[in-house]
Amino acid sequence: MKRHSTPGMRLTGLLLLLVLAFLLDLTAGPVKIPLRDIFRILFSPVAGNDTWHFIVKNIRLPKAITALLAGCGLSVGGLQMQTLFRNPLAEPGILGITAGASFGVAAVMLSGGSMATLYAIKELGFPGSWLIAIAACAGAGLVMLLVLTLSGRLKDNVIMLIIGLMMSSFTIALVSIWQYFSNPEEVKDYLLWTFGSLGGVTGQQLLILTLLITAGLLTAFLSSKMLDALLLGENYARSMGVTVKRARIIIVCSTSLLAGSITAFCGPIAFIGVAVPHLARLFFNTSSHRILMPACCLIGTVLLLLCDSIAQWPGSDTVLPVNIITSLLGAPMVILLLIRTKKLNSYR
Amino acid sequence: MSSASPLLYTRELQTGYRNGGKKIVVSASLPDLTLRAGQLICLLGPNGSGKSTLLRTLAGLQPALAGRVEIQGSTDHSSTVLAKKISLVLTDRVIGNNLDVYSLVALGRYPWSNWLGGLEETDRAAILKAIEATGIGDLRDRKVHTLSDGESQKVMLARALAQDTPILMLDEPTAHLDLPSRIRLMRLLHVLSRELGKGILLSTHELDLALQVADEVWLLQSAGPLHKGAPEDLILDGTFEAVFAREDVAFDRGTGAFRIPPEGGRQIRLAGEGVTAFWTRRALQREGFTVVDADASGRKPAPDSGPQMQGLGADPLTPSPAPVPDTIHLIEENAGTTWLLESGGISIRCNSVHELLQALNRPHLP
């Protein structure tokens, strides 16, 4: 690890890495397109090769932008939750927030009367996308508020985690009931959705996702001072002037927006949320959220772009679901880093 | 030293918890309490007597069941307002999550910094002053999770000092500290109250230290009213003894200390004064003797009674009606002290307290 570099230098370095990863992701795919042509397609409105033009502008660019949004959103959401719950394992997925989001999506589908799968959201128009996104965020927020109220009464992190897991199982069970009564075709679609996918978010859906993630990230950045104070626990935070109830609501809203919208459009993407905040803390050796937030955004995006590139390595026709790659790469990496730096006790 | 308008003032305060619709009262009959600038007040009392609850209520961390707390003449207890008036050192464990000591102390500037938490020159000066005052300069770059309990206690105090508020409240700040650190901490708090005019309220179990530095003691009981007053007054009028007797603990007004073994065994007379007599008495009390002053038989008190021994004095116990008890005479000579034990007409010379206790514990004295 670099010793004498300032956080600003490290952020710049990561930004360069991000650009590289972004370009790598644009070149990755079953159809081989040279980097020079990608530049040409990106910067000139009229292109020579129509197929390439279509692939880059309508498939790869939206996918890379989705990866950017999801990388930022998931890792910042994870960071906020780890600080709020003072727990190193806290993450949207573990505390049932992702499950809540999928429940929200399922609820909309069911009340709509159609026994369609979650994959059908891709077919929905503009109002439908909004509805799904709002339902997912509401589902996520509902679960998170429940977990928070219960944890406020219990004041025990382990019990809170168990409650999160229970909430998760409960909502997943509700979704499963709906799955059980669906036909096999739809169940397969649902399974594919749970693998997570960055592709297929285009046009208006991408616009909606961008708006929601921007709103979530802005709220998160504005709450970074509060999060710093919350590192010392709620009593100290209050004694330093944090209105704890309001802080909780702001953080819950922000995390629900981020995790909910990403889950709605990309499915539950594992691992980024729990791993990236740890990587950011190790790499930047700080606890200040003003630095950790952009660090999480950059690291999360780079990781997700790399995972997505690997998932569709050029030369092979098969595209693996991104969720598999994030877990396959992420798990050993975090274990290795934690063992090497022996930072485990810092979370006790 | 103490200005006219109090920093903190309570009226008909009742502390406790609300559980659903039920009120669980912790302290019902509190007198009106006042904390003035430049005052150091120690909150004493056994476990479960409501020290922390009272402290938390005064600090605005939990609402009062009844009555009101006025802080600098205001009853606005919103956290943003209180943060500029009261800083806290709590018993809450700080996990830190990669937090280093400097950043933690810097968090004390929270109420004064801008919306992003950026630090100005005045903030940095306050942080450095707090680090210097608590003597944690060496710890600056350490991660909070690597600190020992005592070190972390000091760091949390530095954070509270950096917050730079007129009132400082500490919940058992001496809990994890070794004896020198405890004394340094108490001295620091004393200086802070005297020189910077801060109003300091701390709860502690360190009775001896509290008695030395406190301007006022608030003595809580498990059941019963809160007694307040100058510590010496509470000792002299027997309040301490009475309160701790209720807890089944004997407070010795003569020594200002607690007696651990129960009294009431054989009576023994001790002739002598000074440091040697003080520690001989302690040894005899430990062995269960009830020590009675014998006439000092004209011996001069030992010249080397240290400044820490203010507790020495006449023991206010009643004279013995029993058959003539054993007597111990202290003989101070150039070579050292000799203990002369007179028992049933026989004298035994002992050269140390250990020998004396051995002689006394022999099953049948000749």
Nearest to A89 by CA among A339, A336, A334, A269: A334
Binding-face residues of A in 79-118 toward B, CB within 8 A: 82-83, 86, 88
Q: Which residue of A has its CA nearest to B169?
A: A239
- Each residue's pLDDT tens digit, B31-52: 889 999 999 999 988 888 888 8
Q: Convert B173-217 into a string of H (helix), E (strand) and C (coil).
A: CCCCCCHHHHHHHHHHHHHHHHHCCCEEEEECCCHHHHHHHCCEE
- Each residue's pLDDT tens digit, A160-212: 667 777 888 888 888 888 777 776 766 666 677 677 778 877 777 888 889 99
Q: What is the DSSP string of B225-239?
A: PPEEE-HHHHHHTTH
Q: Do B61 and A239 touch (CB under 8 A)?
A: yes
In whole angstroms, what is the distance from residue A124 CA to residue A130 CA?
10
Q: Which domains are delineated in chain A?
A: 7-347 (1.10.3470.10)
Nearest CB neighbour to B83, from listed A88, A239, A290: A239
- Each residue's pLDDT tens digit, B103-113: 999 999 999 88
User: Is residue B64 within 8 Å of residue B104, measured between CB atoms?
Assistant: no
Half-sphere exposure of A343 (CA within 13 A, CB side): 21
End-to-end CA distance of chain B: 63
- Mean pLDDT score, A122-145: 72
pLDDT tier at A327, thresholds 50, 70, 90:
confident
User: Is residue B32 within 8 Å of residue B217, measured between CB atoms?
Assistant: no
Q: What is the DSSP string of A210-267?
A: HHHHHHHHHHHHHTHHHHHHHTT-HHHHHHTT--HHHHHHHHHHHHHHHHHHHHHHH-
Return the top range by mean pLDDT from A22-31, A248-257, B153-162: B153-162
User: Is residue B45 within 8 Å of residue B251, measured between CB atoms?
Assistant: no
Nearest CB neighbour to A86, from listed B78, B86, B95: B95
In the block, tokens 């772009």 appear at: A305
Return the top range by mean pLDDT from B70-79, B157-166, B219-228: B157-166
**Higher model confidence: residue A343 or residue B289?**
B289
What tokens appear for A33 in the block? Answer: 């397109």
User: Is residue A27 within 8 Å of residue A312, measured between CB atoms?
Assistant: no
Q: Which amino acid is at B147?
A: L
User: Is residue B145 within 8 Å of residue B114, measured between CB atoms?
Assistant: no
Nearest to A144 by CA among A160, A124, A125, A127: A160
The three-class DSSP label of residue B33 is coil
pLDDT tier at B306, thresholds 50, 70, 90:
very low
In whole angstroms, what is the distance from residue A84 CA to residue A223 CA?
11
Q: Which amino acid is at A201?
A: V
- Each residue's pLDDT tens digit, A290-326: 999 999 999 999 999 999 888 887 667 777 888 888 8
Return the top range by mean pLDDT from A214-218, A240-244, B204-208: A214-218
- In angstroms and rounded to an integer, the radius of gyration of the C-alpha atoms of chain A is 20
What tokens appear for A187 in the block? Answer: 């169940």
Half-sphere exposure of B324 (CA within 13 A, CB side): 6
| Residue A7 burial (C-beta neighbours within 10 Å; 0-12, 13-18, 19+) | middle
Half-sphere exposure of B14 (CA within 13 A, CB side): 10
In whole angstroms, what is the distance from residue A305 CA to residue A187 CA?
28
Residue A122 reports pLDDT greater than 70: no
Q: For the domain B8-252, what is the CATH superfamily, name and number?
A: P-loop containing nucleotide triphosphate hydrolases (3.40.50.300)
In whole angstroms, what is the distance from residue B334 CA to residue B197 CA?
49
- Give how far the C-alpha of residue B291 lies from the chain's centroid of Cα atoms, to the nearest Å: 27
End-to-end CA distance of chain A: 24
Q: Tell me, what's the pLDDT at B324?
A: 63
Q: Do B98 and A343 touch (CB under 8 A)?
A: yes
In whole angstroms, what is the distance from residue A166 CA to residue B159 CA?
38
Q: Which residues of B touch A (CB under 8 A)?
A: 59-61, 78-80, 82-84, 86-88, 90, 92-100, 103-104, 107-108, 110-111, 113, 115-117, 143, 145, 163
In whole angstroms, what is the distance from residue A194 CA to residue A192 CA?
5
Residue B55 reports pLDDT greater than 70: yes
In whole angstroms, what is the distance from residue A92 CA to residue A85 CA?
12
